[in-house]
Structure 1
Amino acid sequence: MKAKKNPKVDIGRNSSLYFAIGLNLMLLSTYLLFEHKSYKRDVQLNDIVQVDNFIDEDISIVNLNVPPPPPPPPPAMVPQEIKIVEDVVEIEETIIESSEVSQTDIVEYIASEDEVEVEEVEEDIEVPFAVIEDIPVYPGCENGTKAEKKACFQKSIQEHIKKHFKYPQTAMDLGMHGRVHVIFMIDKTGKVTGIKSRGPDKILETEAERIISLLPKMTPGKQRGMAVKVPYSIPISFVLEE
């Protein structure tokens, strides 16, 4: 069966292609319309400048009576001959000696025997208790050897602490306890001086210093036959009984 229409003259066969081309043209024209810019034109004003005709006037020249400048000064006169005058008078230079004495200068002065006073300076020697030749002697420990005197000294110190020991009531109420280390000095006269202490609390330290301050005067320690200072330290324990 043959078709009634010729396919070559069919108008609708390329309709989709034409539609696509038309759509693209519309989009392009729309884009160009949005991107188009217009600028305002400046208004130009043309003014006419009128120039009047000025009349040229001749300016007269006025002569002023100005005095002439002063003449230049005359040149200085230079003597033709130069005379050389010799110094006849000789000037003596005066040397001023310094009155200050430097370290290199030696000053000699011989003093007489009457002017020299000899002053005896007592040496403040301090010898530890462990190495001193003659230890301090506690009252009642004068007899015996050095070892016996030393043992008697330490025993007497312990008995003195037990005799005068008194636990502070404030320390008992607060539950204070511990060991206080006391150091003191037996001077050249046998007195106890320079008492210092270190412990857990100031209340206990004060009590320990009070006990040591009650020590009696002793026979001072000697080193090579001369009285010297002797330091001594002892711990005092504060123990609360339950």
Structure 2
Amino acid sequence: MKIKKNPQQNLENYSSVFTLLGLVLSLFITLIFMEQKTYASEKPSVTYDPATIKMDALPNMVNVIREEKKQPKIEKPKDLIEPIKEPQTKPIDAIDPTKFKKAENNADIIEKPINSTEDPSNAPTDFGDIEYVEVSEEIGAETVPFLSVDNIPVFPGCEKYIRDNEKSKKCFNKNMSKFFGKNFDIGVAEDLNLSGMQRINCQFIIDSHGDISPDIQTTKTHPELAKEIKDVIKKLPKMIPAKQNGKPVNLIYMLPVKFYVE
């Protein structure tokens, strides 16, 4: 048996119509919201009239009065040193040279010869045996260390650097080491059965005449080795002496002796 539908109750034929109506309604609502304007709420302006304000309504206020402090008077300090008062001098009257009185002195002056107490017969008459001794003007030269002297001694061969103290020092040390290495006999250390690196410091003086002073000092070592070092130092040639303030002086020189014994 087939069920018959009422064509008036078939709503599927109106679905497109309902869709269009929904779209129109939504567009209408959207348009209304877009055209609607909102305004910010304004606060009422409040004006105050001074005449209407009652003084009793104001809180208690404290008036602060600033007192000006009186600055104390600063007394001028008294001078610690009293000024020196110049002594009052009486004016000196001008002296008239014509008013001097001439003093009379007629006493006789008696001249007495001075008699010698030595007998002139005992005076030497022969001066042939008198020896004249030359007195040296040099009292004693100053002794100055090598590092603080104005002009160091000039080693033979370094005369061309005499005006340049720095180059003269380098030349001096170079020739001193060369001379010592040439004259020192390392066989003395080998005979003493020494081995390894040996270092001996020695100190001597080059006097104000350019000669080596005999007083030579060495650090503690074997006596034979110290003797060999002193013998080499004594062989150093004569030099131009060191100078301090333009005057020849004694120079203290420190020489470190280093050598290796296999």
TM-score, reference length from structure 2? 0.44
